[in-house]
Amino acid sequence: MKAYNFDSSAPLDGVPGAAVGLKLVERDPGTPGPGQVQVAVKANSLNFVDLTCLYGAFPVDGRIPLLDGAGEVVAVGDGVYGFAPGDRVVANPHSNWLAGPPAPGSNGMVLGIVVDGMLGEAVTLPESALVRLPDTLTYEQGASLPCAGLSAWSSLSGGPSKYAVVPGGTVLTQGTGGVSLFAVQFAKAMGCRVIATTSSAAKMDTLRAMGADHVINYVETPEWGAAALELTGGIGVDLVVEVGGPNTLPQSIVAAKTGGRIAMVGIVGGMGSIDYTAMLPVNHKVLTLYANGMGSRRDLEDMLRFVDANGIAPTVDSTFAFEAAPDAYRHFAGRGHIGKVVISHQA
Ligand SMILES: NC(=O)c1ccc[n+]([C@@H]2O[C@H](COP(=O)([O-])OP(=O)(O)OC[C@H]3O[C@@H](n4cnc5c(N)ncnc54)[C@H](OP(=O)(O)O)[C@@H]3O)[C@@H](O)[C@H]2O)c1
């Protein structure tokens, strides 16, 4: 079978700052051992963390990339009772986190970073790393959901913290990347009001069309936290899905209501230091800041059931063939996408 490997000897051209490249190699798919399932991968999607792998954030040389993938079961090993050839499945990026809160024993095996990931024609995984893909979702849609969808899902449901949003609550999202668009869709389906931020007029229209109740251009309105506060009559939002990092956190703290929550998800707005003065309202407003780390296999099952029941269709920005996977990375690195960049093995 063919698979891509991370290759630090040839950084990917067309991705400024890349320290690592992608090499198409032949690999023996082997046969699944006891408890293992072999999957013919049909689709993948890219996440910000996959890009950071190219920047050298993790020691991934020689590993198969990508956290996200969906496909069809082609063979099962001894003792596998949950799946049979022909089943449509999607992998949980945390391949050994089954349910409940994260723990030292369940927080390590992240596909595409710590162990081989999903960017191959076939993968062999423990049965426990897979869940069924609902019939209403294509492989491309299914592959869009695990990493970004789970992070949005756990932000809203509270994940292990159980700080779930309630219908009628207000959720603030940032930008139009994978996590944030799922957060908009899930929050609307949960009966919440959404205030979304973004960088351009065209993307403001996209967010409104997706159901966002208010959209703020954070380039034109750098004090968007105060603008969100005003939109809530000075009360503040119940939850901020904080994907930006140190450059957005101060405004997120301004936007949050007393007793509100901030789901600490990412750093897509860039790294940098943060003035602790901006953090003081965390205390004054008695805010809860909590992380999620995507979610467990149980969370993935719950989220897929929710997506299925609510007819939620992931926003797919663009689709590239497996053979053009490096172009998918180049496009994603260009930062012009809205939603998910997908690789289809069926294209
Ligand atoms: N903790 C976890 O389990 C987990 C899981 C998934 C992702 N993450 C993290 O969450 C972040 C988002 O991931 P992703 O895959 O959704 O990323 P992505 O698709 O690459 O997001 C890109 C978008 O982020 C928006 N953005 C950039 N700077 C911004 C800023 N200053 N303020 C608001 N929006 C900004 C831009 O949208 P606009 O042009 O519309 O502003 C941009 O198109 C990443 O840091 C990722 O590592 C964490």
Query: pLDDT by residue (tens digit) across 135-168?
Result: 999 999 999 999 999 999 999 998 777 789 999 9
Q: Give the pLDDT of residue 112.
A: 98
Q: In terms of CATH, what superfamily is 159-291?
A: NAD(P)-binding Rossmann-like Domain (3.40.50.720)
Among all chains, which residue has been given the structure tokens 């994940």? 159
What's the DSSP call for residue 286? T
Residue 23: pLDDT over 80: yes
Q: In terms of CATH, what superfamily is 2-150+294-344?
A: Medium-chain alcohol dehydrogenases, catalytic domain (3.90.180.10)
The set of protein residues with a Cβ atom below 6 angstroms from ligand 1 is 47-49, 147-148, 151, 174-180, 197-199, 203, 218, 243-244, 247-248, 265-269, 292-294, 335
- Angle at 328 (CA atoms; ends 89, 154), nearest 5 degrees: 50
Instruction: Name the residue with the closest Cα to ligand 1, atom 31.
Output: 269
Residue 63: pLDDT over 90: yes
The residue to mutate among 44, 45, 46, 48, having the most atoms of ligand 1 within 8 angstroms of its beta carbon, is 48
How many whole angstroms from 266 Cα to the centroid of ligand 1?
7
How many whole angstroms from 182 Cα to the centroid of ligand 1?
11
Q: Is the dihedral of CA 230, 236, 241, 246 positive or negative?
A: positive
Instruction: Name the residue with the closest Cα to ligand 1, atom 13.
Output: 48
Tell me the C-alpha distance between 264 and 222, whole Å. 20
User: How does pLDDT run across 75-88, given as a tens digit for each residue?
Assistant: 999 999 999 999 99
Locate all alpha helices (DSSP H) within the chain, ordered by sequence: 48-54, 139-144, 146-157, 178-189, 201-209, 224-231, 249-255, 280-284, 297-309, 325-333
Confidence of residue 45 (pLDDT cuts 50, 70, 90): very high
What's the DSSP call for residue 134? P
User: How does pLDDT run across 185-242, given as a tens digit for each residue?
Assistant: 999 999 999 999 999 999 999 999 999 999 999 999 999 999 999 999 999 999 999 9
Q: Give the pLDDT of residue 162.
A: 72
Q: Give the pLDDT of residue 38.
A: 98
Give me the residues paired with residue 42 across strands.
none
Among all chains, which residue has been given the structure tokens 């700052």? 17
How many residues would you count in the chain?
347
Q: Give the pLDDT of residue 158.
A: 87
Residue 52: pLDDT over 80: yes
Share of the chain above pLDDT 90, in %: 94
Q: Where are the domains of the chain?
A: 2-150+294-344, 159-291
The residue to mutate among 51, 185, 242, 268, having the most atoms of ligand 1 within 8 angstroms of its beta carbon, is 268
User: How does pLDDT run across 287-332, given as a tens digit for each residue?
Assistant: 999 998 999 999 999 999 999 999 999 999 999 999 999 999 999 9
Instruction: Name the residue with the closest Cα to ligand 1, atom 3.
Output: 293
Locate the ligand 1 atom nearest the alpha carbon of residue 181 and give its number: 16
Locate the ligand 1 atom nearest the alpha carbon of residue 341 and give its number: 19
* Mean predicted lDDT score pLDDT of the chain: 96
pTM of the model: 0.97
How many whole angstroms from 1 Cα to the centroid of ligand 1?
33
Q: Give the pLDDT of residue 105.
A: 84
Instruction: Name the residue with the closest Cα to ligand 1, atom 19.
Output: 177
Residue 173: pLDDT over 90: yes
Residue 336: pLDDT over 90: yes
Q: Give the pLDDT of residue 237.
A: 98
Q: Give the pLDDT of residue 225.
A: 98
